[in-house]
Chains A and B, each alone.
Chain A
Amino acid sequence: MKKKIGVYICHCGGNISDYVDVEKVREAVKNEEGVFLAKTTMFACADSNQKEMVEDIRKEALDGVVVASCSPKLHLLTFRGVVERAGMNKYNYVHANIREQVSWAHSDNKPGATEKAIQVVKAAIAKVRHAEALEPIKVKSTKAVAVIGAGVAGMRAAIELAEAGAEVYLIEREYFVGGRTAQWDDLCITEETGKELVTRLYDEVMKHKHVTLFTGAELVDYSGSVGNFNLKVKVTPRYFKLQCSSDELQKAIEVCPVEVPDEFNFNITTRKAIYHNYPSEYPQLPAIDMKNCTRCGECEKVCSSVDFSQKTEMLNLKVGSILLATGFDPYEPKKGEFGYGEIDNVVTFPQFKRIVHYCDDKLMYKGKEIKHIAYIYCVGSRQVDGENKYCSRYCCTANIHTAITVKKKYKNIYNYHFNRGIRTYGKAEVWYDESSRLGDIYLQSFEDHPPVVEKRGDQTFVKIRDILTTDKELEVAADLVVLVTGMVPRADNSIGNLLKVPKGRDKFFNEIHMKLRPVETVIDGVTIAGASQGPKNIMESMNSALAAATKSFSLVDSGELALEPTVARVNEEACEWCGKCEEACPYSAFEKVEKNGKTIAKVNAAVCKGCGMCLPVCPENALDLIGLSDEDVESMIDALIPNA
């Protein structure tokens, strides 16, 4: 039993103390059994307070510490670190959440919040009173990382990890690398084109002997946990031998009778079942799309590299961490949304990027020359009625940049930007300025009055009540209407379900905390990067990739991982070996052993994950989780009842 417990109650600026009377909490807990000192602090996590805690622990020889502050998801590790610096075993620290679960949750009821805070802190004190000093369980970790998705984020992360010294498996579902960026020519923020950027990253990836790239590959199953994941990766062949002559390939594409919409061009063109997206694409080897191939054998007759004997392979990989960089999908407007799918000259921004790519000296669409272009912003973003409440961030900037490119590339272009307030944040403001100087017209409306697209005769009109000209109704006759569509999570994000990575309100993968743990997920060992986590431009995607790579590397670097020692424990006297725990344990952590002439259960600590599934099944109540014993739980329950 601890006798010298230190309790620190945080104001969190006013985040806690605006609703919880922290002084009253201090008064209420300072005389609890075992409490030696109780203090309030403006910011418990601030350096100055951390120093003070270290001094207190040393000077007063404290034997247990409680900090009542924000969620343990944010600062449990911080304060465990503080007590360790003072020479205390970190398991003698207990965290009480009085912000997310008290002051914020009950900001409508200050006395109620204060009373709850008192009980919550008392429960933490009860727990720390019989906390035991524990040593983490050390397990070997595999110095390898699986990076899922070879877009710009995934490739950047793979390079970083390999340079740091990890073995990297870069797993790409498509047959070609680069993700979305390969689909854009001109890019803003950089002078490079999408292809150049992808080529540069690919070259770097291939240079590293520690990166193995798999294309046509997908993670289909996994087991294990941080430090030791076992992955099952399905690799679908391209049905092509490694060498391939370009003449023969050209012929093979010509003779292939199957023509399907080309997703790389957002279905504005078609491609054959045997295809590459563009000639210099990486890896520079075509692929046969088996979903559509009829196995007619025509290509095989003209191209010696076609090889239908290749088989789907299942690979088993062992890694210590998984980095998800699976990117995004462009928002697909609903039929009739701003005329999409109904009026023939309404296209999306991604389609427009591909149209501009294919038109050299004149901008043409469906046989007509385009001069007047109306851009409608925030399509699929900042929705009032729909689910996508967020701003997609990239689109204002990328679209204005593209509008300038178009104006410079073709003659007599007139750009009209129907927006809801332009968000060219950071340096991108210079393009907004440039486009205005070039004569582009900006018309703006509020969300409750979006522009209307109509076809009258053979002309398409876009009408708006423009708040920049005192709500005048203005109309533009447009040759092409471009819907500036936002970003949405990948339609097939099943990998997130497989790995149990939580999604945020925006349905993208969710980090633990936007500022404090921005690339980690609640699944230990799984990090996230790039647009899979939410709308990001290329620079932001790369930055998050570097952060995720660093985090993943830190988990595998030393070859050893310290795991929480909160595993199951058998009371050897009580156990009568019935085998029920062995049955209940999903990890086969139990063994039947003979000890002192008695058959009992034994827990393999390195295998036990501390889930506790075995606890309720034991008929002898012989099982406990370390740190969650009956005494721990029941004393917390008692402390949660006022006046108990």
Chain B
Amino acid sequence: MAGGKVNDGPRILVFSTDKISDPAIDMAGLLKLHYPPTVYTISIPCSSAVKPRWILHALEQGFDGVFIAADGTDCPYGESCTEKTGQVVSTTMQMMKDKGMDPARLKMAAICSVCSEPFVNHVKSFSEYLRKSSNS
């Protein structure tokens, strides 16, 4: 293997949830549905728990994009999750704009516990977007 980074695609940090999206992401692996190996997950209890500062930290430290695998209406902690996660996203996007960052580097989509394929499709197209926008 030559030196340097093997994985030079856009780096994506996924905030996924213990009960809902983690099982889907695990199942994507089980089904060998491939996605770029530059996609990393940090597991949290609920998608509405993500602090904007974590997202900004990731983007400032070198991640190209952050993907929130939201619980949506499946959230075991209640209906308000969707709205609250949306709130986190819009607050953070505003902060990103203020800092001159492209708000589209943050993406959110509901990923249910069996949404392995949608997950893979989302991160692939997000990765594609990030690749293009970094080249432009």
Interface residues of A, Cβ cutoff 8 Å to B: 71-73, 97, 99-109, 111-116, 119-120, 123, 500, 502-505, 510, 522-523, 566, 584, 586, 609-613, 615-617, 621, 625, 628, 630, 633-634, 636-638, 640-644
Contacts and interface: CB of A to CB of B under 8 A. Distances in A.
Given A611-B45, A637-B63, A640-B42, 15 more contacts: A97-B26, A99-B29, A103-B29, A104-B32, A112-B38, A115-B7, A502-B20, A522-B19, A586-B78, A611-B48, A613-B80, A615-B50, A633-B42, A641-B63, A642-B5
Nearest to B9: A112
Interface in B15-54: 19-20, 22-23, 25-30, 32-38, 40-46, 48-54
B23 A641 contact: no
| 5 closest Cβ pairs, A-B complex | A612-B49, A112-B37, A502-B113, A100-B29, A104-B29
Contacts of A611: 45-46, 48-49, 77
Interface string B89-106: 001000000000000000
Nearest to A501: B113
Contacts of A637: 13, 42, 54, 57-58, 61, 63
A502 B1 CA distance: 42
A612 B53 contact: no
B7 A112 contact: yes
Contact of B61 (A107, A112, A616, A638): A638
B124 to A, nearest CB: 12
A116 B36 CA distance: 10
A613 B5 contact: no
Given A115-B5, A615-B51, A638-B61, A120 B40 contact: yes
Nearest to A641: B62
B41 to A, nearest CB: 6
A641 B11 CA distance: 8
Interface in B66-88: 74-78, 80-81, 84, 87-88
A616 B49 contact: yes
24 contacts: A73-B23, A101-B25, A105-B37, A106-B35, A123-B40, A502-B113, A504-B114, A586-B78, A611-B45, A611-B48, A612-B46, A613-B49, A613-B80, A613-B81, A616-B48, A616-B52, A628-B44, A628-B49, A633-B54, A637-B42, A637-B58, A641-B11, A641-B62, A644-B61
Contacts, number: 159
A107 B34 contact: yes
Contacts of B110: none
A522 B54 contact: no
Nearest to B25: A101
**Chain B CB within 10 Å, residue with most, of A71, A105, A633:** A105
Contacts of A102: 29, 37
Contacts of B32: 104-105, 107-108
Contacts of A119: 40
A116 B74 contact: no
B74 A500 contact: yes
Contacts of A621: 51, 53
B77 A636 contact: no
A109 B34 CA distance: 9
A96 to B, nearest CB: 11
**Chain B CB within 10 Å, residue with most, of A73, A114, A633:** A633
B112 interface: yes
Contacts of A522: 19-20, 23, 113
A338 B72 CA distance: 41
B29 A615 contact: no
Given A97-B26, A610-B45, A116 B53 contact: no
A115 B41 CA distance: 14
A613 B40 contact: no
A73 B78 CA distance: 22
A616 B35 CA distance: 30
A119 B40 CA distance: 9
Contacts of B74: 500, 502
A640 B40 CA distance: 7
Nearest to A120: B40
B42 A636 contact: yes
Nearest to A24: B1
A626 to B, nearest CB: 11
A98 to B, nearest CB: 10
B18 to A, nearest CB: 8
A502 B114 contact: yes
Contact of B13 (A111, A609, A640): A640
Contacts of B114: 502-505, 510
Contacts of B57: 633-634, 637
